[in-house]
Amino acid sequence: MENALLIGMTRQMALRREMSIIANNLANINTNGFKAEQPIFEQYLSRTASEDSPNDTISFVQDFGMHRDLREGRMEVTDNPLDVAISGEGYFKIDAPEGTRYTRNGAFELDAQGRLVTRDGYPVLSAAGTGFTFGPEDGQILISGDGTISTDQGPQGQLSLVTFDEERKLQKAGGTLLKTEEPEVPVEKVNVLQGAVESSNVQPILEMTNMISVMQAYQSANKIVEKSDELQRQAISTLAKVN
């Protein structure tokens, strides 16, 4: 009975974590550059304590980690000259207060000082490691396919795009920003599109289907826990009457 209770509880804990991840995916359907996530489960086998079946095992489930879907999202044309979408590999480098951060979200804007920044106000870095600042005399801002930014005053620098050998080790750093201890690898063939953004790669129908499956699995696990608890109460009640 204890084994059944433990199995049910570990399954419920894993399902709660999975439901939280699905809910976060659905909440970010309209977040530019967001990548869908899925939990990774690990199964532990443990021998039962039964003398009649000493070789039998039981399975415990634990959410081991998280998998990020790195597939490219759909390109959405915005016609905003400060929006930039990455086609292919790479991440923009962002100068955040906590250090360098990375993102696929190219919905940029100009702050009060004329700096090119993210929607959170963090400067976008150039390949030279500096930011971009524009004034009224610069006029129209043009961004070519290789990330070079030009104005009426001439070239202003090139957007810094980097990637990583261990891309899946990128960790969340708030919003669509990511962080990592992995060394940067410059993108050899930069390919960006001005006036567009990369949308989230979350698939709503798939996520809703997964949510229904998780809810059904949770209900099944809950029945196991309730049944095990009921059997324990009956056993204790029976022993009390015998004594």
Q: Which DSSP state fits 17?
A: H
pLDDT of residue 193: 96
Residues 65, 133 share a domain: no
Nearest Cα neighbor of 210 from 21, 10, 14, 13 is: 21
Residues 13, 62 share a domain: yes
Which residue among 178, 198, 218 closes a domain? 198
Residues 93, 37 share a domain: no
Strand (E) positions, the chain?
A: 37-47, 57-68, 75-77, 84-86, 91-96, 99-103, 109-110, 116-117, 142-143, 148-151, 154-158, 161-163, 171-172, 178-179, 185-186, 192-194, 196-198
Residues 227, 140 share a domain: no
Residues 193, 80 share a domain: yes
Cα–Cα distance between 186 and 165 in angstroms, integer? 11
Residues 25, 86 share a domain: no
Cα–Cα distance between 201 and 73 in angstroms, integer? 4
Give the largest Cα separation in the chain, rounded: 95
Bridge partner residues of 133 (DSSP): 115
Residues 168, 209 share a domain: no
Q: Which residues contact 50 (CB under 8 A, 6 or more apart)?
A: 56
Residues 111, 138 share a domain: yes
What's the domain count of the chain? 2
- Domain hosting 57: range is 2-69+203-242
Residues 141, 208 share a domain: no
Per-position b or e across 12-24, b if 16+ CB within 10 A of its CB: bebbebbbebbee
| Polymer length in residues for the chain | 243
Averages of pLDDT over each 10 residues, the chain, 243 residues: 61 83 94 89 54 50 74 94 95 96 96 96 95 94 96 95 92 92 93 96 93 85 67 64 60
Cβ distance 78 to 195 under 8 Å?
yes
Residues 115, 28 share a domain: no
Cβ distance 114 to 133 under 8 Å?
yes
Residue 156, CB-side half-sphere exposure with 13 Å CA sphere: 24
Tally of CB atoms within 10 A around 214: 19
Residues 159, 84 share a domain: yes
Amino acid occupying residue 243? N
Residues 173, 88 share a domain: yes
